[in-house]
Every structure is written in structure tokens, then in C-alpha cells.
Amino acid sequence: MTDYSKLLIADQGQKAHSILLLDQAHFQEWLLTQPQKIRDLLDAQSFKAGPFEIAIINDEDSWSVVYGMSDINNPSPWCLAGATAKLPSAHYRISIYGQENQDLKNTALGWLLSHYSFDSYRSKTPPKAQHILLSTDVAMIDEIVKQATAIALVRDMVNTPPIDMGPNNIEKQCAKIAKKHKAEFSVIRGDALETGYPLIHAVGMAAMREHAPRLIEMEWGDKNHPRIAIIGKGISFDTGGLDIKSAAGMRLMKKDMGGAAHALALADLIMASRLPVRLHMLIPSAENSVSAHALRPGDVVKSRKGMRVEIHNTDAEGRLVLADAFTKAAELEPELMINFATLTGAARVALGPDLPAFFCNDDDMAQAMRKAGQDHYDPVWQLPLWHEYNDMLTSDIADISNAGGSFAGAITAALFLQNFVEDGIKWGHFDTFAWAPTARPGRPKGGEALGLRAAYHFLTQQYAAR
Ligand code: BES
Ligand code: ZN
Ligand code: ZN
């Protein structure tokens, strides 16, 4: 993995090329301050300070960069991320036109992430340019390196082929992070799940021998601090089970552990920030496979909570593994639970790949989460827990069915989960895509963290100031 701490370092007056960020609204004003030689140079490069436009100008004995963005008062992480691809390896120093107290957090994050690539499976990797950014804000450096590293962890885990990212590998990734922060770590594997976690066991039955299912748990922090649970769907590959997916529907299902990757990355951020909480991370992990041992449509499984679930569709497996993990989390009485899951295709139909659907049982929490997402350029979109649709989950023979009819698939999935959230617990559920279908500057095609920074900043605001 790229070591982002080498790409964002303290500014100690090193020799560096400066990058001036400009927008069209300020371009003429700035141009007036420039000598004719520079104006001609910009003219020759057709530079007008439009978004993503770049020009090189001469300094006395070196060169510097001017870069256009849409609004210098509102720098998103992605506005400068396209610049590195056009610049050689060197040290750089950014300034925003006319601003004294420059907030370069977002810009620096995009800068770092523009160096992300997933090359572990290529025989030859082309040499990559290293653009080192200098910053006088030392606290910002640690914070942004931490965030970039967490996002890269999500991308790497999701991009890794399923043969190398089974439940066993997910466990190893978690163990590594637990060790780094000296967190308590425990795992219940395989048939040992049958009594305590029957739904996780049921989803994992088909691949029990080859890729044993498991519940991975981590606990960290002072027991007197408020307890929170972070939970992630860790389906290492989703074939659909006996309700098997089409080839096209299955093609990207290595990313069905994306929720687990988000949960782990969020846990890493919480622990690295030493947020004053008692953290409980839970990742139910299984491969949803096909075999003579597979769970069948029509089977009924008694959940950890005692509620009996009729399996209407084996492809609605994420909510099953999450349900038992929720029950375990709730037994320890957290005040707040947040989960991430690549739960439904319906959420993608509704909101497309960029926007995670966010469901929440508490209005203040929902508002704060949306604001955190908006403020940090990690937008989330709230959908309703519309209780009347609970009827769609009625089973003919058991307490509940794991899938409803053909309407409101993201909402019925969330309502299913809500049955396993006990009263008094604030709960937020991200139905996220964990994937970027097309490449954009700083955001290559492939695994992507969506909702991670919204949740992180939300938690920081809720707990850091207490
Ligand atoms: N992992 C899928 C959801 C998914 C599909 C996410 C495509 C992103 C892209 C999940 O396990 C699933 O298959 N859900 C079904 C539920 C249905 C059977 C009720 C779905 O969304 O079609
Ligand atoms: Zn599925
Ligand atoms: Zn799935």
C-alpha cells in the first residue's frame, strides 16, 4: 500500500514548486498583477482558470503551476486531484488565491488519493510519479494521512479478488488493525456459529468447509466511555446462493464485503483518533455459495434473537448475517449502532453509484449525518424507514420473511434489519455501493469508500467534544 505519510510532509522551507489555485471569477483580477511575459505564457496555453485547467509559468530560476477550479472558496477533495497526473515527481506547495487562512485539508486528501492504484495483480507496474506536498499545518498532515490510508484500505480490500479476500482473509485484515491499536479481538468460526449465530451459519453453510463463515469482533477503548457498535456486511462473494445470480449480476460480487471494509476502516479511524468511545466492531462474514449444503428457499431459520426467518430468497443474505450481528451488538447495550452494507440493488437503482442510501431511526442523528457528509464531500442520501412496508415482509409460516415483493427493495431490507435493533439504540444504516464504475480524478474505477468519512466526521462531532 502507498505510504501516504511520504507524500504529505511538513513544510520546512524546502525547495518546491508552488501551485496557485484560481477560479474564473478571480482570474482577471489576478492576471492584472502579472507581468506581460506571464500573461503571454498563459495565453499561449489557453489558460482561463476553468476547472481542471493547468498552466506552467516561469519563476526566476524555476517554474510554478497555476490551476483552475470551479470555486476557490469551496475546494472539494477532487478539484486538484487531476493535477498530479500532469506534473512530474517533485515537491509542491499549494496556495489558494487571495486567502490568508488556507484550509487545504480537502485538497490534500484528493492529492494523496490521486496516488492510489491497485497493482498487486499486475506482472509489471509502470514507475509512478511521487508528488510530495508540503504543509505548514502539521496537525492536518496526520489527520489527512490517516483518512487517505483508511480509504485506501477499503479500496484495496474491495479490489482484491475473492479467492484472496475470503472470510479468512477478512479476519486477517481485522486482526492486523486490532493488533495495531491493541484492541481485544475474537472470532467465532464455522460450525461453532450454529447455536449462537444461526443466521450467519445458515448463509455460510454452502461453503462451510472451503471458506468457513465467521463472526469477527473487536473491542477497544475505556469501558466507561459511551459504547458504540460498528457493523459491516462481510459477504466475501455473493453468488446469490441457490437463487443464483445471472453472470452480469454476479460479476462485481467480490465487492459484497465492502460493508466490512468500511466498518474496519471506520474502526481504524476511530482508534487512531483515540475517540473517547467504547468501540465494538462486528463483521459477520461468509461466502454466499451454492452446494448440496446450501440454504434453500423455503427454509426457516431461528435467529439469535429468537425470531424465525423464512428464507424467501437466498440472495437476500446480507440482512441475515447482519441480523445476528445486530442482536449480539444490542446485547451489550450500545447507545449507537452504525452499519455499512452492499445490501440491495434497489438502492443503486434509486440513487446510482455515488450516493449511499442512509436509513436512520433518529431524526437528530440523521440530520447530523447528512450534514457531516455534505460538509466533507462524502454525501449520503436519506431514505425512509416506512413502517407500512413491513407488511411486505410477512411470511406464510414463520415470524418474518427475508425478502419482500418487488417494491422498495432498499426500504424493505432496512426494515428487516430494524427488527434486530433494540429499543433505545440510535441506529444508522448505510446501503452503499462500495464501487466506482467509472474513473474520475482521485477516484479510479474499482473499490471505493462511500459514507465512510461522513460517518467518521459525524462520530468525531458527537463524541470528541464530550
Ligand atoms: N449483494 C446484493 C446487493 C447488490 C447487488 C448490491 C448489486 C450492489 C449491486 C444483495 O445480497 C442482493 O443480492 N440483494 C437482492 C435482494 C433481493 C433478492 C430481495 C437484490 O438487491 O436484488
Ligand atoms: Zn445477495
Ligand atoms: Zn449480497
Q: Give the separation between CA 161 and CA 164, rounded to whole angstroms.
A: 6
| pLDDT of 404 | 82
Q: What average pLDDT score do residues 325-342 get?
A: 98
Spell out the domain ranges in the chain. 4-136, 147-463
Active site residue 319: yes
Instruction: Label residues 192-225 b or e (16+ Cβ within 10 Å = b).
Output: ebeeebbbbbbbbbbbbeebbbbbbbbbbbeeee
Instruction: Kindly state the DSSP code that residue 244 receives in the 8-state scheme.
Output: P
User: Per the residue annotation, which of 39, 105, 146, 245 is the catalytic one?
Assistant: 245
Mutate to test the pocket of ligand 1, among 290, 315, 392 (most ligand atoms within 8 A of CB): 315
Instruction: Label residues 390-419 b or e (16+ Cβ within 10 Å = b).
Output: bebbeeeebbbbbbbeeebbbbbbbbbbbb
Nearest C-alpha neighbor of 215 from the set 238, 226, 228, 231: 231
Which residue's CA lies nearest to atom 8 of ligand 1?
345
CA distances from 14 to 4, 86, 92, 93, 309 (A): 19, 22, 9, 10, 64
Mutate to test the pocket of ligand 1, among 251, 252, 314, 344 (most ligand atoms within 8 A of CB): 344
Question: Residues near 95 by Cβ (< 8 Å), separated by ≥ 6?
Answer: 18, 19, 20, 21, 102
User: Per the residue annotation, which of 233, 319, 348, 453 is the catalytic one?
Assistant: 319
| pLDDT of 101 | 81
Q: Which ligand is nearest to the CA of 403?
A: 1
Does the CB atom of residue 431 touch ligand 1 within 6 A? no
Measured from the Cβ of residue 14, the count of other Cβ atoms closer than 10 Å reads 11
With beta carbons less than 8 A apart as the criterion, state whether 298 and 315 touch.
Answer: no
- pLDDT per residue over 181-211, tens digit each? 999 999 999 999 999 999 999 999 999 999 9
Q: What average pLDDT score do residues 336-351 get?
A: 98
Does the CB atom of residue 345 touch ligand 1 within 6 A? yes
Q: Give the separation between CA 229 and CA 420, rounded to whole angstroms.
A: 13
Q: Is 146 helix (H, G, I), strand (E, B) or coil?
A: helix
The DSSP bridge pattern shows strands 227-232 and 278-288 to be parallel
Active site residue 245: yes
When mean pLDDT is compared across 70-84, 234-248, 362-376, the lowest value belongs to 70-84
Q: Which ligand is nearest to the CA of 240?
A: 2
| pLDDT of 325 | 99
- The number of angstroms, rounded, from the C-alpha of 2 to the middle of its chain's C-alpha atoms is 18
**pLDDT tier at 103 (50, 70, 90 boundaries)?**
confident
Measured from the Cβ of residue 439, the count of other Cβ atoms closer than 10 Å reads 10
Q: Is 345 helix (H, G, I), strand (E, B) or coil?
A: helix
| pLDDT of 126 | 82
Q: Give the separation between CA 134 and CA 270, rounded to whole angstroms.
A: 26
Atom of ligand 1 nearest to the CA of 238: 1
- The number of angstroms, rounded, from the C-alpha of 1 to the middle of its chain's C-alpha atoms is 17
- pLDDT per residue over 255-290, tens digit each? 999 999 999 999 999 999 999 999 999 999 999 999
- pLDDT per residue over 425-435, tens digit each? 999 999 999 99
Which is the CATH superfamily of the domain at 4-136?
Leucine Aminopeptidase, subunit E, domain 1 (3.40.220.10)
Measured in Å, residue 245 CA sits from the centre of ligand 1 at: 9
| pLDDT of 465 | 64
Does the CB atom of residue 403 touch ligand 1 within 6 A? yes
Q: What is the mean pLDDT of the chain?
A: 97
Instruction: Kindly state the DSSP code that residue 243 receives in the 8-state scheme.
Output: S
Burial class (CB in 10 A: 0-12, 13-18, 19+), 168: middle
Phi then psi dihedrals of residue 132, to 5 deg? -95, 125
Phi then psi dihedrals of residue 226, to 5 deg? -60, 135
| Most confident residue range from 66-80, 123-137, 336-350 | 336-350
Q: Is 400 helix (H, G, I), strand (E, B) or coil?
A: strand
C-alpha cell at 8: 504529505
Instruction: Label residues 108-146 b or e (16+ Cβ within 10 Å = b).
Output: bbbbbbbbbbbeeeeeeeeeeeebbbbbeeeebbebbbb
Nearest C-alpha neighbor of 128 from the set 19, 5, 7: 7
Does the CB atom of residue 318 touch ligand 1 within 6 A? yes
Measured in Å, residue 157 CA sits from the centre of ligand 2 at: 19
Architecture, CATH, for domain 147-463: 3-Layer(aba) Sandwich (3.40)
- Residue in the block written with cell 505519510: 5
Q: What average pLDDT score do residues 453-457 get?
A: 98
- pTM of whole model > 0.85? yes
